[in-house]
Amino acid sequence: MTMGNPGGRRKPPTIHDVAREAGVSRGTVSRVLNGGHYVSPAAQEAVNAAIRKTGYVVNRHARSLITGRSDSVGFLLTEPQERFFEDPNFNVLLRGCTQALAAHDVPLLLMLAGTEDERRRITRYITAGHVDGVLLVSSHSGDPVAEELREAGVPLVACGKPIGLGSKVSYVAADDRDGARDMVRHLLSLGRRRIGVVTGPLDTPGGVERLAGYKEVLAEAGIGVDEQLIVSGDYSRASGEAGAERLLAQAPDMDAVFVASDLMAQGVLAALHRAGKGVPDDIAVGGFDDSPAATAATPELTTIRQPWDRISSEMVRVLLAQMGGEDPAAVILPTELVRRESA
């Protein structure tokens, strides 16, 4: 007795099925799947139509054995795992990059490497060829990952300009310095003169550039930079809260504060509320990012909008171009002041 297909399930369509439907050879289908070289436009269209009709799905593992490519991209976050879940910017960026790559049928692998051991393991994994390129997020100075991947010839695009690598690595960034300048000018326009700042980490491009923009505008306004009004944070809510407490102790006459991320600004608002300070009446607060944390804050944050959709799509575009053989490129995108209740 002959047994039927168990459960009555259809076998998935194969390359043979596509070739038969398109009326071409297996070799022609294979060439279409691997870039369409030496295939006539008519044959390519016939194969693409057959793929749609049969529902054929490429066996990526089999193809990678032939091409030596993984047909996937890594999203590498060099921060502790808890930061990925706390900071909404990372999730927004990940979603945008995933969507942009999906248009090219390229899957994205999330990689978290917050410790030195994790970074070593991930670097070995990447340089072994398990991904074709890397989108690097949150690169600190002294972090060897970007340099090691560059030296290994791995196509790489960083979110923000990697400190110390100059034009050697492709990057896409918002104009952090100009955004900070816009925010401090706005606070000055409200009549505030004792403007504190909670910086981002000063071993990251965003931390350095936003502090520089703050200082430049105060200098332009003829207001000296008071070091008692400057404290550093690490982009976490807790560091914003601690930073505000230090500012209140060091500069009790502070009448505004520029906070280098919306998540830190939430912490600043909590500390000001605990100290009995009204926002914006006593102290105006400005954030940076226009992340979901800005509208979740009470009061809602006046902030600097980073164009996350464009950042993610440009990162993917530059990476795919580099994977195709193009030279490294740099893209800097404009920011926008968004006025809400806090300033």
Q: How far is CA 295 from the centre of its chain?
A: 20
CA dihedral sign, ordered 227, 228, 233, 237: negative
pLDDT value, residue 315: 97
User: Do residues 340 and 294 make contact, with C-beta atoms less than 8 angstroms apart?
Assistant: yes
CA dist 64 → 33, 127, 191, 242, 270 (Å): 12, 15, 62, 50, 52
pLDDT grade for 116, boundaries at 50, 70 and 90: confident
**Segment 247-259 mean pLDDT:** 97
pLDDT value, residue 65: 42
Q: pTM for the full model?
A: 0.76
Residues 221-239 have pLDDT tens digits of 999 899 999 999 999 999 9
Nearest of 68, 93, 67, 91 to residue 316 by alpha carbon: 93
The three-state secondary structure class of 56 is coil
pLDDT value, residue 150: 87
Mean pLDDT lowest for which of 8-17, 97-106, 300-309?
A: 8-17
Give me the count of residues in the chain. 343
Helix (H) or strand (E) segment spanning residue 215: helix 205-220
Residues 288-303 have pLDDT tens digits of 999 999 999 999 999 9
Q: Average pLDDT over the chain, rounded to whole?
A: 88
pLDDT grade for 64, boundaries at 50, 70 and 90: very low
pLDDT grade for 161, boundaries at 50, 70 and 90: confident
Helix (H) or strand (E) segment spanning residue 179: helix 176-189
